[in-house]
């Protein structure tokens, strides 16, 4: 069945079916191949894209900018001091203005409600570049990287370890359960995702014939094909650093943890930026640096697929 996601926003992967996600991954592979061959893209020719950044970024900003230019579009960066989103002007009114001037809007900030209002009122596709709750474009890059390494997604065993209630843990659990990847989250109970999201993802997992496991036992990394971690303190939580380091030290990705998988071919992944010596040792980071920076590059290819796939003709 042909997939048509023209005009569809990407606010969270909960809104996308397995088939639609597969379509985006296939499109990303194709666009990546064309870029490597030097074939100029035209998927965004004549399109103007607003890039709203309340939170600073390296990978997200660069990926959206390069992807847009690669496909013939014009990206316009709007920092937190460039527009009055939500304080001098309502999000609803800002959305209605931007929707008349731009063909698509990326939003990276704090509030999931803001990105949802932009999508509701702008009339153009809106793409979530990160909120406190979700980070869907990162997960698409992760899924593409895993597919490139293993040649498949279904049936793999994925372990996320560390801070289990941040936007990455939430989004990885959604993405894995949608795509038939067995997902295990290992974290102190106080840092587990909310029950409603766990229950929702268990339904996705049932539909895709995979499993969801939430535990505080680091021995549950056994048989992991992928071990994934993220910073212990998300942006805006710096005051919790000392508390988190003490709490999460037993959940560090290190050689000892890797030895518990029972597999020599287990991959370690990280969405960056990394605090080496906290969530992952420098030794393990450097051992798996190739796959980690493949992830970073794949942000651009998958973001390009999202924009090309959803922009209105």
> Is 60 known to sit in a ligand binding site?
yes
> Is 213 known to sit in a ligand binding site?
no
Which positions are annotated as active-site residues?
Answer: 108, 135, 138, 230, 271, 299
Token reading at 64 = 């959206």
> Is 58 known to sit in a ligand binding site?
yes
Q: Compute the distance between CA of residue 256 and CA of residue 187 in angstroms, rounded to an integer.
A: 17
> Is 62 known to sit in a ligand binding site?
no
> Is 310 known to sit in a ligand binding site?
no
Which residue, 98, 75, 54, 224, is CA-closest to 156? Answer: 224
| φ, ψ at 215 (rounded to 5°) | -155, 165
> Is 137 known to sit in a ligand binding site?
yes
CA 312 to each of CA 5, 8, 16, 67, 155: distance values in angstroms, whole numbers, following the listed order: 9, 9, 17, 17, 35
> Is 4 known to sit in a ligand binding site?
no
> Is 210 known to sit in a ligand binding site?
no
> Is 271 known to sit in a ligand binding site?
yes
Q: Compute the distance between CA of residue 278 and CA of residue 276 in angstroms, rounded to an integer.
A: 5
| φ, ψ at 266 (rounded to 5°) | -60, 135
> Is 136 known to sit in a ligand binding site?
yes
> Is 96 known to sit in a ligand binding site?
no
> Is 100 known to sit in a ligand binding site?
no
Token reading at 123 = 């009339």
Other CB atoms within a 10 A radius of the CB of residue 293 amount to 13
Residue 140 Cα to chain centre, angstroms: 6
Which residue, 241, 231, 265, is CA-closest to 162? Answer: 231
Cis bond upstream, residue 273 (ω within 30)? yes
> Is 230 known to sit in a ligand binding site?
yes
Q: Compute the distance between CA of residue 19 and CA of residue 239 in angstroms, rounded to an integer.
A: 41
> Is 267 known to sit in a ligand binding site?
no
> Per this entry, what is the length of the chain?
313
Q: Which residues are known binding-site members?
A: 57-60, 84, 108, 135-138, 167, 230, 234-235, 271-272, 299
* Binding site as annotated, residues for carbamoyl phosphate: 57-60, 84, 108, 135-138, 271-272, 299
């Amino acid at each position: 069945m042909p997939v048509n996601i023209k005009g569809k926003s990407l606010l969270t992967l909960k809104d996308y079916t397995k088939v639609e996600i597969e379509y985006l991954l296939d499109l990303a592979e194709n666009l990546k191949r064309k870029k490597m061959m030097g074939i100029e893209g035209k998927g965004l020719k004549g399109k103007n894209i607003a890039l709203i950044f309340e939170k600073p970024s390296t990978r997200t900003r660069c990926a959206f900018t390069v992807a847009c230019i690669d496909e013939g579009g014009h990206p316009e960066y709007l920092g937190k001091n460039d527009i009055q989103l939500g304080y001098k002007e309502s999000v609803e009114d800002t959305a209605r203005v931007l929707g008349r001037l731009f063909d698509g809007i990326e939003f990276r900030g704090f509030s999931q409600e803001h990105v949802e209002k932009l999508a509701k009122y702008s009339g153009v596709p809106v793409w979530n570049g990160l909120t406190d709750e979700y980070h869907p474009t990162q997960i698409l890059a992760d899924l593409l990287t895993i597919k490139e390494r293993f040649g498949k997604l279904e049936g793999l065993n994925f372990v996320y370890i560390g801070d289990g209630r941040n936007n990455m843990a939430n989004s990885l659990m959604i993405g894995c359960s949608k795509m038939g990847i067995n997902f295990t989250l290992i974290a102190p109970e106080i840092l587990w995702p909310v029950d409603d999201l766990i229950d929702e993802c268990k339904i996705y997992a049932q539909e895709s014939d995979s499993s969801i496991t939430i535990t505080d036992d680091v021995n549950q990394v056994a048989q992991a094909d992928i071990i994934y971690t993220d910073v212990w303190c998300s942006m805006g939580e710096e005051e919790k650093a000392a508390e988190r380091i003490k709490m999460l030290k037993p959940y560090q990705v290190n050689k000892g943890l890797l030895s518990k998988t029972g597999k020599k071919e287990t991959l370690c992944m990280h969405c960056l930026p990394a605090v080496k010596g906290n969530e992952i040792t420098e030794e393990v980071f450097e051992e798996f640096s190739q796959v980690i920076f493949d992830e970073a590059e794949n942000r651009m290819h998958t973001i390009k697929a999202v924009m090309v796939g959803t922009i209105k003709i």
